[in-house]
Chain A
C-alpha cells in the first residue's frame, strides 16, 4: 500500500491536491482512500490531507503514521511541531518540499535519513496562486510514485476541477504536468510500505488513568481571555498591510469590520494591525474606503520582514 501525506495550510488546495492524486490512482485501477484532516480552524491553519492506495481493499483508516511520501506545500510548516510534518518519516520515506531553501539545508534542519527533494517549478507555474502549487505537488507526487501515467493524472485534474470551467482546468493540468516533469529523474523513488508484523509491534504502553480532583479533571482553563494565547496569526496565507500615506483615518472602518478585533487604533489615530491574531481574512482590505490596505503574500511579507531586520 502507498501512504501519502500532504501538508499545507487551509486555502492552499491540499484537499484538492490529495483528491487529484487519489483520483489518478483510481484511474490506474487502485483502491483508494483520501481525506483531509482539519479541525475547527479556517483558512491558513496548518492542515494535512492523506491518500492511501492499494491493489487490495484498504482496511487502514485515519491518520497515516508511517508515510511513504510526505509533501510539504508550505515550508513554514516544517518547524511548527503541531503541524506534524516530519511525523513517522523513516529512512525509506520521501520528503518533497516546495521551497527556496536547498535540499542539503533541509537535511541539516530536519535531521531525517530518507530522500529529500525540493520541487523545482518552472516559471510557467503561477506562484502567486497557492492552489497551483498544490496541483503541481500532486503532479510531482504522481511521478515520484511512478505508477501513474500522464493520462490518468490529466483525467484526475478534470474530475476534480471540471465545475470550475475549462480555462481553470487547463491551467491546472499545466501545473500538474510541470510538477510531473520536474520529478522525471526521480520517477518511482517512492515505494510501497509493507505492513508491520504483529509480533514485533511491542506494547501499547497503556496507563491506568487515575481518579483526580475536579479542579484538575474538569475541562476548564483557570483564567479568562485565554484565546489571546492562540496565535491565530500563524494561519495567515495573505497579510493585510496598511499604507499609512493613503489611510485617511476614516471612521476606522477596517477596525470595525475586523471579525477578530485585530485592528486597534493608536493614540495618534492610526489603525494598527496585530499580526499575532490577524487571520488574514482580507475583510479589511475589501472594506477600506480609500483602498489603503494591500494584500501581500504572507511568505513574501515575512521574507521582506527578515530582510528588514537583518
Chain B
C-alpha cells in the first residue's frame, strides 16, 4: 500500500489499473480527460497491459465498452456530462446485455446554458438506465469504489454495468491523500473476471440484443434487469464488508455521520457532503443534534436502510444538486417515496436545491437548512422547496441582464 496525494481523476485511473482493466474505450471531455490521459500514459510506457482505443464519440465508446465486456474481458471507461448524454441510447442498450463493466462519470452540469462546473443532473439522467450507481465524496472513495464496482457488477447475482460518480473540479481536479492498495491485495479482493460462459467469441457467436415483439417477453427481460439491480443491495453489503476486512475502510451503502442520535439529518450525495459534516460538527457545538446520511449507492436505492435510519427523527433536510424541471430535487422525491407510510416517519422532510453548476454551499446555508427543518417539525408546516440563491447573486444576475439588453439597444440604433 502506498499513500499519495492524487486527484480524483488519477484515483479513477488507479481504480481501473488495480482492477487490471483489459480494455479501455475512450473519448475526451472536460473534466474527465485527465483519466484517459493518465491511462494513455501508462499504456504508452508499458506500465500496464491494457488495450486503449480512442473512439469517435461517446455513443460508440459505450457500445464498444458493452461489446468488449460481452466477450468476457474487463472493461473500464469514463465520460462526463454532455458525453454521458450523447451515449445515453447505448447506456440503456448495453445495460440490457447484462455485460458488466465500470464507467466513471465525472459530474458536470448540463447545457443550456453551458458550463464546465459540477452538479448531478448528468448522472441523474442515467438513473433509469440499468447501470448501478455509486457516488463518491473523496478521492479515496473513488479508487475504492471502482474496485468495489467490479466486484458488484460482475457478481453472478447481479451482472450489470456500474457507474462510479465523482464531482468535477471538487474531486476531479482536487488532490487528497489516498491509500493505494498494492496490486496483490487488489487482485486478491478482485479476482479475474469470470464471465460464467456468457462470453461470445468469433468461433462461438451469440446474437446479442435480440428484438422481441409482444410485451410479455419484453416485460420479462426488463423486470429481470430490475430484480438483478435490487439483488445488488445485499451483494453490495457483502462486498463492502469484505473490502473493509481487507483494507480497513468501510464504505457502506449509506454513510452515516453522527446521525444515530441526531434530531435533524441532512441527506445529500457527492463531495459537498463533506461540507455537511463540517456543518454537523458546528451545529453540535451550538447544541443542535444534527447528523448526515449520504447515499453512496443510489441505484439500487437503499430504501429500507433509509427507512430504518430515519424513523423517529424530527426532521430531514434533503439537499439536491440536481433539478428535475417541473418537479424539483430528485433525491427528495425518492426519499419521500421511501419514507411514505413508514411508522414514526420524520415529521418534516424539507427540500433544498443548491450547488447547481458548481455553486458553493456556504456554512450559513447549512445552518439555516437545519433551523428551517426543525421549525417545520415543530410547527408541522413544511416550507416550499428552496433554491439556495442569495440577494447578492440576484443583483449580479441583474447586472448581467442589463448588459445583455443594453448591447442590443446599441445595435438597434446602429
Contacts and interface: CB of A to CB of B under 8 A. Distances in A.
B176 A32 contact: yes
29 contacts: A19-B5, A32-B176, A32-B177, A35-B7, A58-B176, A58-B274, A59-B274, A59-B277, A60-B274, A60-B278, A61-B275, A62-B169, A65-B362, A195-B281, A196-B282, A197-B286, A198-B283, A198-B288, A201-B364, A206-B386, A206-B388, A206-B390, A207-B391, A209-B387, A209-B394, A219-B113, A222-B404, A223-B404, A223-B407
A31 B286 CA distance: 26
Interface in B261-307: 271-272, 274-275, 277-279, 281-283, 285-286, 288
Interface majority SS (helix, strand, loop, mixed), chain B: helix
Given A32-B5, A206-B368, A226 B272 contact: no
B191 interface: no
Nearest to B407: A223
B174 interface: yes
A59 B116 CA distance: 23
B5 A34 contact: yes
Interface residues on B, range: 35 or more
Interface residues on A, range: 35 or more
Contacts of B394: 207, 209
A198 B175 contact: no
Given A33-B175, A61-B170, A223-B411, A202 B364 contact: yes
Contacts, number: 120
Interface in A9-30: 19, 22-23, 26
A113 B357 CA distance: 34
Interface centre among B275, B363, B390 (most CB of A within 10 A): B363
A207 B390 contact: yes
B177 A204 contact: no
A62 B274 CA distance: 11
Contacts of B392: 205
Contacts of B116: 39-40
B196 interface: no
Interface of A: 19, 22-23, 26, 31-37, 39-40, 58-63, 65, 195-199, 201-207, 209, 216, 219-224, 226, 229
Nearest to B116: A40
B173 interface: yes
A147 to B, nearest CB: 17
Interface majority SS (helix, strand, loop, mixed), chain A: loop
B286 A26 contact: no
A204 B5 contact: no
Contacts of A22: 5, 175
Given A203-B364, A207-B390, A222-B407, A198 B285 contact: yes
A186 B126 CA distance: 53
Given A34-B175, A223-B411, 9 more contacts: A32-B175, A35-B169, A35-B175, A58-B176, A62-B169, A62-B360, A198-B288, A219-B113, A223-B404
What are the 10 tightest A-B residue pairs by CB atom distance, in nearest-first order?
Answer: A222-B408, A223-B407, A219-B113, A35-B174, A198-B282, A59-B278, A201-B364, A198-B286, A59-B274, A204-B365
